[in-house]
Chains A and B, each alone.
Chain A
């Protein structure tokens, strides 16, 4: 069953802590994305990767970091520099850049 898997579904961060959100896809898509969603808001792009070992900052990259060592995986680290991390985080992929996006089921990050 092809798809995008995000884990965990819920995550709690203590002050000063870095946390990593997992995103795995078995769709053989080249491009992967991370979006942040706040209540009542549209999706805002954090980082995207069009190909393995390459990634670009989106509109709100500050306080976040990513890696793309494998085609299937695009983990997002929310660092302690992100002062307002509470949000719903969505990972997406597309067969290649500038194609339609398919989303995972999201991770809700909250601050303890």
Chain B
């Protein structure tokens, strides 16, 4: 079946650092979405990508749709304490079965460096 690997699983950030995370799939996707989830809340959409090679920014966040269509990257520049949370990637391909529904990665948990 379709698989989506998100890494790293967790990371610690110090204020001001840049952060990178990525997702790779075993199949070609035509949509990549990036969400952030705070504890006890629903995920909030950060960036949507629809075209291979697309690079899109939302403030300090930048995401890219890989040219192979099997991966996507999210970068956070100059991190601040409120960036803490869990970041999920989600992808969608042109598959039957579940009508092309989204597949979610397991998330990257960002915490503040002690």
Q: Which residues of A contact B (CB under 8 A)?
A: 4, 6, 33, 40-45, 48, 50, 56, 58-59, 88, 90, 92, 97-98, 100-106, 108
A59 cross-chain contacts in B, Cβ below 8 A: 98
Q: Which of A33, A48, A56, A98 makes the CB contact (< 8 A) with B92?
A: A98
| Given A98-B92, A103-B42, 4 extra CB contacts under 8 A | A97-B100, A101-B90, A101-B102, A104-B42
Number of residues from B at the complex interface, CB < 8 A: 25
* A103 close to B43 (CB less than 8 A): yes
30 contacts between A and B (CB under 8 A): A4-B42, A6-B42, A33-B101, A41-B106, A42-B6, A42-B104, A42-B107, A43-B90, A45-B98, A45-B101, A48-B99, A50-B99, A56-B98, A58-B98, A59-B98, A88-B40, A90-B42, A90-B43, A92-B42, A97-B100, A98-B99, A100-B45, A101-B33, A101-B90, A101-B102, A102-B45, A103-B44, A106-B40, A106-B42, A108-B40
Residues in B neighbouring A44, C-beta threshold 8 A: 104
Quick check: is B66 within 8 A (CB to CB) of the other chain?
Answer: no
For chain A, what secondary structure do more than half of its interface residues adopt (helix, strand, loop), or is it mixed? Answer: strand
Q: Which residues of A contact B103 (CB under 8 A)?
A: 42
A105: which of B33, B41, B106 is its contact (CB, 8 Å)? B41
The answer to whether A106 touches B41 (Cβ under 8 A) is: yes
In the complex, chain A residues whose CB is within 8 Å of the CB of B74 = none
Give bound CA distance, A42 to B42, whole Å.
12
**Contact check: which of B4, B6, B33, B100 meets A100 at CB < 8 Å?**
B33
- Do B43 and A98 have beta carbons less than 8 Å apart? no
B5 to chain A, nearest CB (A): 11
Does chain A have a CB within 8 A of B13? no
* Closest residue on chain B to residue A59 by CB atoms: B98
List residues of chain B with CB within 8 A of the CB of A101.
33, 45, 90, 102
Whether B48 is near chain A, meaning CB under 8 Å from some CB there, is: yes
Task: State the Cβ distance, A27 to closest chain B Cβ, in Å.
Answer: 13
Chain A positions within 8 Å of B90 at CB level:
43, 101
B78-99 interface with A by 8 A CB criterion? 88, 90, 92, 98-99
